Amino acid sequence: MMEKVLEVSNLCKTYIVNKRQNNVLRNVNFSISEKEMVAVMGPSGSGKSTLLYTVSGMDRSTAGQVKFFGQNIDKLDSKEMAEIRLDMMGFIFQQMYMLKNLTVFDNMILPACQSKKNFSSKQEIVAFGQQLMRKLGIIDIADSDITEVSGGQLQRACIGRSMINHPKMIFADEPTGALNRSTSDEVMEELVKLNSEGTTIMLVTHDVKVAARCTRVLFIDDGCIKGEKFLGKCENVSLIQERERALSGWLMEMGW
């Protein structure tokens, strides 16, 4: 029996815009178990990104409960939440957000330098960072400025940064959204590899090809989870197209 990493119950998120209430998430319920790779799909404005930010503690919910490894994250103060984000979570954004005054490598190891838990020395951090970069195929750009490298390379560096503290779970908001097809495939390759090594992943995407690599897909519309599809582990690459077709069919049924 896999351990529950994330348990979301009756989650609501409401924004007040111009004195008008906008219910972005309405009573959302789902859970994610260890080693799962879950994609959240849905039309634009359906609340995908809000869901990701709320369940990852980057934004506060209006009502409901989010448990991360059994801990209710809504009860945590900003300092405790920051510690969880630092040591147990990893984040990948659609845009390759990095600090512009640091090199690619320094950006990547920054969370490890800030954390006091995962490494005993700076040398250890540097060694692990280099190992990660090699694994991601971007060791050549380690000392480059973030403006000197391609989007794909930068997104891989962002993946590296999200992995540097050995997180239990990675949240990714359209990680391939700003990349071309081949780069997108490379990035997904890395995420699948990560997942196969035991990291739980929740990602938001518009791309059926990306979602087809995940173990489960949640479909969200108008702030509610309308359905979910279990795809299972993608053991065989030759079956990807078949998974894509099946997923597309299901999505059409869901009204996408």
Partner 1 sequence: MYLQILKKDLKRKRTMNVILLLFIILATTFVSSSVNNIATVTNGLDHFMDEAGMSDFFAMTLNRAAEQDIQEVLDSSDAVESFGIEEFLIKESMSVSRQREEPGTDATIAIMACEDSQLNYYDVNDEVITSVEPGEAYVAIKWLEEFNYEIGDVVTINIGDKTREFTIAGGLKDVCLGSKMMNVVRFMVCRDDFNYFNSDEEIRQEYGGKMCYIFSGDDAAVTNLLSEAETGLLFSGSKDQVKVGYVMDMVISGTLLVISICLILIAFVVLRFTITFTLSEEYREIGVMKAIGIKERTIRGLYMVKYFALAVVGAAVGFLVSIPFGGMLLETVSSASMLGGGSSTLINLICSILVIVIIMMFCFGCTRQVQSFTPVEAIRSLTKGERFKKKGFMRLKKSSFKPRSFLALNDVTSSPRRFGLIVGVFALSLILLLVIDSTVATLSNSRLIKSFGFAESDVYMTYGDLLNNVSTGDGVETIEEYLSDVENEMAANNMPCECYCDLMLKLTIQNKEGNRAFKSVVYYGVNTTMDMYDYADGSAPSNPNEVAITPLVSETLGVYIGDKITIVHSFGEEEYTVTGYFQSMNNLGEGVRLHQTARVDPSQVAGYNAIQFKFTDNPSNQEIDSRIERMKEIFDNSKIRTGDDYVAEMVNVTGILSTVSRILLVVMVVIVVLVTTLMERSFSAKEIGEIAILKAIGFNNKTVINWHTRRFVIASVISVIVALALFYPVTIVSITPIFKMMGAFYGVNYVVRPLQTFVIYPLIMVAVTSAAAWGAALFTKTITPANATENE
What would the x/- binding string for partner 1 be over residues 32 to 71, using CB under 8 A?
Answer: ---------------------x----xx------------
**Contact call for residue 134 and partner 1 (CB under 8 A):** no
Task: Please report how close the Cβ of residue 8 comes to partner 1 at its closest, in angstroms.
Answer: 17
Nearest to 39 by CA among 240, 246, 219: 219
Contact pick of 1, 21, 70, 100 for partner 1 (by CB under 8 A): 100
Task: Please report how close the Cβ of residue 53 comes to partner 1 at its closest, in angstroms.
Answer: 5
Nearest to 64 by CA among 224, 201, 247, 188: 224
Contact pick of 76, 110, 234, 246 for partner 1 (by CB under 8 A): 110
Contact pick of 25, 28, 40, 109 for partner 1 (by CB under 8 A): 109
Q: Which is nearer to partner 1, 97 or 256 (CB)?
A: 97
**Contact call for residue 153 and partner 1 (CB under 8 A):** no
β-partners of residue 90 are 170
Write the Ramachandran bin of 122: left for phi over 0, alpha for psi from -120 to 50, otherwise beta. Answer: alpha
Is the Cβ–Cβ distance between 188 and 136 less than 8 Å?
A: no
- Which residue's structure tokens are 């995940």? 214
**Contact call for residue 99 and partner 1 (CB under 8 A):** yes
Eight-class DSSP state of 2: P
**Contact call for residue 115 and partner 1 (CB under 8 A):** yes
CA distance 60 to 239: 39
19-52 residues labelled b (16+ CB within 10 A) or e (exposed): eeeeebbbebebebbbbbbbbbbbeeebbbbbbb
**Contact call for residue 113 and partner 1 (CB under 8 A):** yes
**Contacts with partner 1, residue ranges (CB under 8 A):** 53, 58-59, 78-79, 82-87, 89, 91, 93, 95, 97-103, 105-106, 109-111, 113-115, 122, 125-126, 129, 143, 145, 147, 161-162, 165
